[in-house]
């Protein structure tokens, strides 16, 4: 099995692909040109297609993964605004997108060859819509917004039609003042949601509840989020400016990571699988402005890229503690916007 790493570079109009060996070292395989400021990346559910937001052109490109690490452009879909986040639904038939500046979310149908089809749904939310994902049941979608909305919008998702509709009873959850939820992850058992709080330099945990499929009219019932905890992503005594960016859960479900832009670190938290509560484990300094990072599917390595330096660092993840040990430094290019792993 081969593990590849893809890094989008907005100012270089390209995506770089690397092969990761068994010890976590990266070897550059291809530099694929792609005009329009490549940004958010997402892989199709079958792992055959890469979707890329071209924020400078207001497009979503679809590219087929090649065996040599390259990418073959299938085509692109013109949008009315620039999408900052992409995610396929769990059936692989639709692609969901969030729009930071336009304050909305869309759903596009995916064609049989993997290319992006026409838009089938559009919903207005609020400025700074930053992320969208469906839960494991594929019945609900969450869209966090940093300030000013400072909210997580909740929607029902119809996997047959691709339609989004406001969640029954609770269309959105307003975060505590000043937090600004940006990205989120579900716990492995889907009982909890964790948000990176961009403006509050923190991580918040929420109880996530959804109706059972055995309940009466589950297609009309809503989900709910209930705040559990907010914990700082910064060490005591740090008082310079900082914002949080991405958040990722280790495949074991026991460790959570979030990037600090300002402190320029990856914050590390332990996860109590029963209560959902988080505890600070520590921090690992990384490259300036670490907007993006990702954990490899095996859970052995983490790669973080710094927008302020154009470099990426790979780390070895301690299997017992979840702590990070630096491995290698790579010059990747100007303004890295996303890191994505793929195994084939």
Q: Measured between alpha carbons, how far is residue 181 from residues 20, 49, 64, 105, 152 in Å?
A: 32, 29, 32, 16, 7
Residue 210 pLDDT > 60: yes
Structurally, how many domains does the chain consist of? 1
To the nearest whole number, what is the mean pLDDT of the chain? 96
Residue 217 pLDDT > 80: no
Selection from 12, 4, 29 nearest residue 337 by Cα: 12
List the domain range (segments joined by +) for residue 30.
Answer: 3-343
pLDDT at residue number 344: 85
Mean pLDDT of 86-98: 98
Backbone φ and ψ of 176, nearest 5° = -60, 150
CB count within 10 Å of CB 112 equals 7
Whole-number Å distance between alpha carbons of 80 and 165: 21
Residue 15: which CATH number?
Answer: 2.130.10.10
Selection from 303, 267, 268, 310 nearest residue 288 by Cα: 310
Whole-number Å distance between alpha carbons of 254 and 52: 30
Sequence-distant contacts of 23-26: CB under 8 A, at least 24 apart: 24/296, 24/300, 24/301, 24/314, 24/316, 24/327, 24/328, 25/314, 25/327, 25/328, 26/303, 26/314, 26/328, 26/330
pLDDT at residue number 213: 67
Confidence band, pLDDT 50/70/90 cuts, at residue 60:
very high
Confidence band, pLDDT 50/70/90 cuts, at residue 214:
low
| Residue located via tokens 């893809």 | 6
Quick: pLDDT tens for 239-289: 999 999 999 999 999 999 999 999 999 999 999 999 999 999 999 999 999
Rg (CA), the chain: 19
Selection from 251, 257, 103, 138 nearest residue 194 by Cα: 257
Quick: pLDDT tens for 107-151: 999 999 999 999 999 999 999 999 999 999 999 999 999 999 999
Mean pLDDT of 163-167: 97
Confidence band, pLDDT 50/70/90 cuts, at residue 69:
confident
pLDDT at residue number 220: 63
> Is pTM beyond 0.85 here?
yes
Mean pLDDT of 204-211: 96
> If DSSP codes are grouped into helix, strand and coil, which group holds residue 220?
helix
């Amino acid at each position: 099995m081969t593990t590849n790493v893809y890094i989008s570079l907005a100012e270089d109009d390209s995506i770089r692909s690397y092969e990761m060996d068994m010890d976590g070292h990266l070897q550059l395989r291809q530099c694929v040109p792609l005009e329009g400021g490549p940004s958010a990346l997402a892989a199709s559910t079958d792992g055959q297609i890469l979707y890329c937001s071209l924020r400078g052109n207001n497009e979503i490109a679809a590219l087929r993964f090649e065996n040599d690490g390259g990418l073959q452009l299938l085509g692109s879909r013109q949008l009315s605004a620039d999408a900052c986040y992409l995610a396929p639904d769990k059936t692989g038939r639709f692609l969901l997108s969030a729009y930071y500046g336009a304050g909305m979310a869309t759903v596009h149908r995916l064609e049989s060859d993997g290319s992006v089809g026409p838009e089938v749904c559009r919903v207005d939310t609020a400025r700074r819509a930053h992320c969208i994902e469906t839960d494991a049941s594929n019945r609900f979608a969450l869209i966090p917004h940093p300030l000013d909305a400072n909210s997580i919008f909740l929607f029902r998702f119809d996997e047959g039609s691709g339609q989004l509709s406001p969640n029954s009873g609770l269309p959105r959850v307003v975060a505590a003042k000043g937090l600004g939820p940006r990205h989120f992850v579900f716990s492995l058992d889907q009982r909890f949601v964790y948000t990176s709080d961009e403006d509050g330099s923190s991580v918040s945990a929420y109880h996530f509840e959804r109706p059972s499929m055995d309940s009466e009219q589950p297609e009309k019932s809503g989900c709910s989020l209930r705040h559990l905890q907010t914990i700082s992503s910064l060490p005591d005594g740090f008082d310079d400016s900082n914002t949080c960016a991405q958040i990722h859960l280790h495949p074991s479900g026991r460790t959570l990571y979030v990037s600090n832009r300002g402190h320029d670190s990856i914050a590390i938290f332990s996860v109590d699988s029963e209560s959902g509560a988080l505890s600070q484990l520590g921090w690992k300094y990384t490259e300036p402005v670490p907007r993006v990072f990702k954990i490899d599917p095996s859970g052995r390595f983490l790669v973080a890229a710094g927008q302020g330096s154009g470099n990426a660092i790979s780390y070895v993840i301690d299997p017992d503690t979840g702590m990070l040990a630096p491995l290698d430094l790579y010059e990747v290019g100007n303004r890295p916007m996303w890191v994505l792993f793929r195994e084939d």
